[in-house]
Amino acid sequence: MAKALEVRELRKSFRVGFIPKRKEILQGIDFSVEEGEIFGYLGPNGAGKTTTIKCIMGLIFPDSGSVRIFGQDHLSHRARESLGFLPENPYFYDYLTAEEFLGFCADLFGLGRDEKAGRIARLLRLVGLDRAAAVQLRKFSRGMLQRVGLAQALINDPRLVVLDEPLGGMDPIGRKELRDIIVRFKHEGKTVFFTSHILQDIEMICDHVAIIVGGRIVRHGALQDLISEKILYTEIAVSGVPPAELGGYGESVSVQGDRVLLKVYEEAKVDPVIELVHRRQGRIHSLSPRTETLEDIFVETVSNG
């Protein structure tokens, strides 16, 4: 079975500065995305995420390397008709309604009238804009524009959906709804490749991730393999015990009202803290082991990259 996306030794440079010098933005990017998975592409600002996506979409041409989509060259007609794309900062004609805009996109793919009407109605329901179908886009909020942008990325029923920062500008409820939609894509057999600065969202839904720093992939693999189950520290919230008595058990002690929040970095000290609280007839409000997260991996990787 062909992979959904294969990027091999991709290099891209631009001329920059008053006296133009070539700066290599992508320095041999190499990764692949399996069909039917959700793939997160992470990196700090300027790392090369959007440049990679523009090369994949054929918006710019790499200096060297190759991109294949379902086994086809990414510029071929068969590859492009299987793609859906939402850019980071989409621009739409403000005076079209959501329904009119999606109709225009459907016409570009040659959809018939009945098929077009049914698909537009379904996509507007999917992204939660069915009640705003007749509203002009100039009246939409940033989050609503992201939703209609996602709908247009799906108008051709693509097998691979490429999303550049799709969660930007959305409130927590909107982010959750969009995460649910992306997970639904996977259940429908679609492949999703997306970037995001919101690491918590990526950790919730991604199967694989790649971290790019300075134009190079520095970490790449299944999310469950990258994230360790090792306990970094245990966070214990207690009351009824003076902070001074708890200071010897953890490196960080903070007071919140009548509660003391203690971070215990040595697992052997957790039971003595519990025994101390019981002995002083205090109360343990919560005890939470803190394991490594995607954010921990990202910060460490970028700092060392």
Query: Could you tell me the CATH number of the domain that includes residue 262?
Result: 3.30.70
Percent of the chain with pLDDT over 70: 97
> How many residues are recorded in the chain?
305
- Does residue 270 register a pLDDT over 80? yes
Reported as a pLDDT band with limits 50, 70 and 90, residue 229 is low
Whether 54 and 76 share a structural domain = yes
Amino acid of residue 277: V
Residue partners of 59: CB distance under 8 A and separation at least 6? none
> Among 184, 119, 194, 130, which Cα is nearest to 154's?
119
Range(s) of the domain holding residue 160: 5-226
Task: Measure the CA–CA gap between 260 and 85, rounded to whole angstroms.
Answer: 49
3-state helix/strand/coil string of 150-179:
HHHHCCCCCCEEEEECCCCCCCHHHHHHHH
Residue where a domain terminates, one of 181, 200, 226: 226
pLDDT of residue 62: 94
Whether 262 and 140 share a structural domain = no
Compute the average pLDDT of residues 211-240.
83
Which residues, listed in sequence order, are joined to residue 18 by a DSSP beta bridge? none
Q: Which of 8-12, 40-44, 233-237, 296-300 has the lowest mean pLDDT?
A: 296-300
Whether 112 and 191 share a structural domain = yes
Residue partners of 192: CB distance under 8 A and separation at least 6? 37, 38, 39, 160, 161, 163, 182, 185, 186
pLDDT of residue 158: 94
Residue partners of 30: CB distance under 8 A and separation at least 6? 7, 8, 9, 10, 217
Whether 247 and 171 share a structural domain = no
Whether 86 and 194 share a structural domain = yes
Whether 211 and 75 share a structural domain = yes
Whether 257 and 187 share a structural domain = no
pLDDT in tens, 160-207: 999 998 887 778 888 888 888 888 888 888 999 998 877 877 888 899
Task: Measure the CA–CA gap between 201 and 198, rounded to whole angstroms.
Answer: 6
Whether 125 and 209 share a structural domain = yes
Looking only at Cα atoms, what is the longest distance across the chain? Answer: 76
Whether 129 and 20 share a structural domain = yes
Whether 187 and 207 share a structural domain = yes
| Vertex 260: Cα angle to 254 and 266 (nearest 5) | 80
Whether 104 and 238 share a structural domain = no
Which residues, listed in sequence order, are joined to residue 220 by a DSSP beta bridge? 210
Q: Which of 105-114, 176-185, 245-254 has the lowest mean pLDDT?
A: 245-254
Q: Give the number of other CB atoms < 10 A from CB of residue 7.
A: 25
pLDDT of residue 204: 85
Whether 149 and 163 share a structural domain = yes
pLDDT of residue 305: 61
Q: Dihedrals φ, ψ of 214, to 5°? A: 60, 35
Which residues, listed in sequence order, are joined to residue 39 by a DSSP beta bridge? 193, 208
pLDDT of residue 252: 62
CATH number of the domain that 192 lies in?
3.40.50.300
Residue where a domain terminates, one of 211, 226, 241: 226
The SS3 of residue 47 is coil
pLDDT in tens, 49-89: 999 999 999 999 999 999 999 999 999 999 998 999 999 88
Q: Give the number of other CB atoms < 10 A from CB of residue 28.
A: 14
Residue where a domain terminates, one of 175, 209, 226: 226
Split into its structural domains, the chain has a count of 2
